[in-house]
Structure 1
Amino acid sequence: MNNEAPGNRFHGLLGNLGKLTSIRDTELVEQSLLRTLGPLLGVLDTELYRLDESQTVVRVIYSHRSKVVDSDGGARLVERIEEITNPGDLPAEVVALTDNVRLLRRPCTRRQGDQVLIAYPLVGDGDVHGYFLFKRDREVSPNEDTVIRGVLEVFSNYYALLDVSMRDRLTGLFNRQALENSFERLWTAVGRPTSVSAEDDTPGRRGLPSHSYWLAVIDVDHFKRINDTYGHMVGDEILLLVARLMTSIFRSTDLLYRYGGEEFVAIINAETAEIAHNIFERVRLGIAAHHFPRIDSLAVSIGYAAIAPNLLPVEVLSRADRSLYQAKQDGRNRIYDYQELVDTGVFKDVDYAEPEFF
């Protein structure tokens, strides 16, 4: 693997696994995996590919280590983590290799000149959820293969446990805790849409400019009346159906959370306010058109606001919530954009307060 003594490598591996399983953030766990396996395998570059339910790559995390010589002549290794969402077209050799990994459900290799591209599957609940890739000048030895498989198994099992803790039990959506945990990363992505040094433990994302992200608060209209009339079991069934409808309408790259009760939060990217409005309108119309059991019809109200790096998350959430409240006051079953309400004089652009859901 490298020139370290086996005992030192084993001690280092245990230490890294201890750090990995002490992290309570799924994306930081992914970074920790790359930091663990890269030095262990003696490679500077490692890659992690994440799949959605349709087996499409939706995120790629790159880890790169390089030697930097300081002005005093001292040398040190600097690591950079780069995360790319919606990667688009992947290199042909990566696609061909990972297709084989997915079909065979085992590691595969592909020679590129004097280098070997090596890919391992990330498996959970019998399905392939991603790939771990690296490149070097030789094949994996049996001992290395055993270590890689073991580390990936620990990672997948721990990742699954973290993912469950961040899910709402009824709907399976991300929960409020997951939203609050994600705010720092999301605002980093908005404010710095390029890769950053891994020393600050915050992933950089190369993606859309800061004005292209939007946060919406979505509320089921007259939900208390449904609970009071038909009971909580029917109410839970309605919430589950609403969650599944929204999941099918929103894109796989959009983030959807159950914030509490009948309230949901969505975070999307869109190039313009008009496109963002159209996305939320599709959600409203899709729910209005659906035939729910026991009730004649169902509607949702939506308030949304643009995300900007100079605004705190709670301020954007408050803006979306104020817009939602205005939609409720004006008759429900409608969508309001915070900025539009400011521009038309309905709202004054004031400092935020704690969001107050209802």
Structure 2
Amino acid sequence: MPSSRDLLDGLAHLTGNRNAQRLEYSLLKTLDGIYESACIWAIQLKADGRPRSLHSFDRKHDAVMTVPFDPAHQPTPAGLLEQALATGKPVADVDGSGSRVSVFPMSGLNEFSICLVFSFDDDGSNESLDTLLVESFLSVYRNFVRLIDDAQTDELTGLLNRKTFDENFRDLATLGRSVTRPGLEEDRRQEPGPEATETWVAVIDVDDFKKINDSFGHVYGDEVLILLARLLQQSFRDNDLIYRFGGEEFVVLAQIAGADRAVATFERLKDAVADYGLPRVGRVTTSIGVTRLQSYKTVSAVLDEADQALYYAKAHGKNRVCLYDRLVAEGAVEPSSIQTGEIELF
């Protein structure tokens, strides 16, 4: 049976992580190592508190596996999850196969609102849960998540901030380099197949934002930024990353298959913003510059490409989506002068 020392050691390992996107992985892996005979799941919740997805740690692949939540095949006895969500307290029961199931709700964590489920087979094992000890462990985890969340998010919109973008970009670029053959120039010229998922970087800017602030005041300007943040969150999936860089500028890292779909995705966002009428301010539009993330490019080079596409959109009517590679192919903009490579010079 795990001791308080086991949980403290696990907690020390878990809180060494400063990447909010990997906290759930660290939590599930840590608990999997402590409670080796248990099946452990995290049920992620929607903003309204309903279950959205089911997550478990795969020891073989050292990864968190995710599937949509299916009420007909959930890992808890009937009504147990609903009871935990209604009371906000840990609950336990025995399922139809005789396994002992415990549910620990963890709410109020923005994107990290989850319920943890522990299931122990009735096989005579002495391993069991000390509910109070697990609650204390999860309370420390919850406080740690809040600290990380405060450090990595923009105060006004709740989106990720610029510092977090730099950290996420390095992770994505490193991942991209690990699956290519370094040093071969032909790798850089290879185009993925039409169904291959790529990472696209978009810089999004509110058109004529200074006029909004000057005409209506900063309170209404903030309302525009909060609206755009909400529309961004509604337009992209959970694994896409959305940032506010400051002022009226936003950046998205989105996984999309192919250039045509990438443009269509951001066109839908642009139209959603333009179709949304704000009281007093009225119609607001955005201009969007898009480029493809490639592993050999620095953050400066990628943002320069997206910025060039954005400036072109601004200069040619605004309320437009422009793709950098297509602008270069058409001769509308010059290729980026920022050199690509492994070294970031700031």
| TM interval, short-chain normalised | 0.7 to 0.9
Match of 1:120 among 94, 103, 108: 103
Cα distance in 2 for residues equivalent to 1:348 and 1:329: 15
Paired residue for 1:180? 166
Residue 52 of structure 2 aligns with which residue?
A: 57
1:14/1:98 Cα in 2 relative to 1: closer, same or farther (>3 Å)?
Answer: farther
- 1:131/1:89 CA distance change after superposition, 3 Å: closer
Kindly indicate whether the alpha-carbon contact (under 8 Å) linking 2:91 and 2:102 is maintained by their aligned counterparts in 1.
yes
Cα deviation, 1:60-85, whole Å, max 9, x if unaligned, reads 351417xxxxxxxxxxxxxx521346
Q: Partner residue of 2:182?
A: none
Please report how far the alpha carbon of residue 188 of structure 1 lies from its aligned counterpart in structure 2 after TM superposition: 5.5
Deviation at 1:20, TM superposition (A): 2.7
2:285–2:319 contact (8 Å) kept in structure 1: yes
Contact residue 20 and residue 145 of structure 2 kept, 8 A? yes
2:229 is matched with: 243
Identity %: 30
Superposed displacement of residue 302, structure 1: 0.2
1:125 maps to amino acid: G
Structure 1 residue 140 displacement after superposition: 8.1
Quote the offset at 1:150 in angstroms. Answer: 2.1
> What is the Cα deviation at residue 52 of structure 1?
3.4
* Partner of residue 116 from structure 2, selected from 109, 132, 135: 132
Q: Residue deviations 1:237-278, cap 9 Å, x none?
A: 221222223333344443321111100011222222222212
Q: Name the counterpart of 2:145.
A: 159
* Contact 2:38/2:120 (<8 A) preserved: no
Task: Tell me whether 44-53 or 231-240 shows the greater mean CA deviation.
Answer: 44-53
1:288 to 264, 274, 290: 274
Instruction: State the shift of 1:176 in Å.
Output: 1.6
Moved more, 172-181 or 135-144: 135-144
Match in the other structure for 2:323: 337
Instruction: Name the CA distance, whole Å, in 2 between partners of 1:167 and 1:266.
Output: 14
| 3-state SS of paired residue (1:257) | strand
Alignment RMSD, CA only?
3.5
CA distance in 2, matches of 1:45, 1:96: 11
Deviates more, 1:222-231 or 1:127-136: 127-136
The residue matched to 1:324 in structure 2 has which SS? Answer: helix
Within a 5 Å distance, the mapping from 1:78-227 to structure 2 comes to: 80-84=61-65, 87-88=67-68, 93-94=73-74, 97=77, 100-105=80-85, 106-108=90-92, 111=95, 116=99, 118=101, 120-125=103-108, 129-138=113-122, 144-187=130-173, 211-227=197-213
TM-score (norm 2): 0.76
Deviations 1:39-77 (A, max 9, x none): 332338644343332534357351417xxxxxxxxxxxx
Q: What's the offset of the Cα at 1:231?
A: 2.3
- 1:214-252 deviation line (CA, Å, top 9, x unaligned): 111100011112222332222222212222233333444
**Paired amino acid for 2:52:** V
Are the counterparts in 1 of residues 92 and 102 from structure 2 also a CA contact under 8 Å? yes
| Structure 1 gap ranges (5+) | 3-8, 66-79, 194-207
CA change 1:210–1:162 in 2 (3 A) is farther
**Helix, strand or coil for the counterpart of 1:229?**
helix
Q: 1:209 to 1:312 in 2, by over 3 A?
A: farther
1:74: which partner in 2? Answer: none
Offset from partner CA, 1:279-314 (integer Å, 9 cap, x none): 211111111122223334321100011223343344
Q: Given residue 223 of structure 1, which amino acid in structure 2 is its aligned partner?
A: F
For 1:164 and 1:141, the matched residues in 2 are separated by: 36
- TM-fit CA distance, 1:107: 4.1
Q: How does 1:17-56 map to 2 (within 5 A)?
A: 17-43=11-37, 46-54=40-48, 55-56=50-51
Secondary structure of the corresponding residue to residue 39 of structure 1: helix
Q: Mapping of 1:253-272 within 5 angstroms?
A: 253-272=239-258
Indicate how the Cα distance of structure 1 residues 294 and 300 shifts in structure 2: closer, same or farther if over 3 A, else same: same
Q: Tell whether the 8 Å contact from 2:84 to 2:103 is kept in structure 1 after alignment.
A: no
Q: Distance in 2 between matches of 1:143 and 1:161?
A: 27
> Please, what TM-score do these two structures have when normalized by structure 1?
0.74
8 Å CA contact 1:245–1:287 kept in 2: the answer is yes
Task: State whether residues 52 and 252 of structure 1, in contact with CA within 8 Å, keep that contact through their aligned partners in structure 2.
Answer: no
Return closer, same or farther for 1:89/1:59 CA change in 2, 3 Å cut-off.
closer
Q: For 1:192 and 1:89, how far apart are their aligned partners in 2?
A: 32
Aligned to 1:212, the other structure's residue is in SS state strand
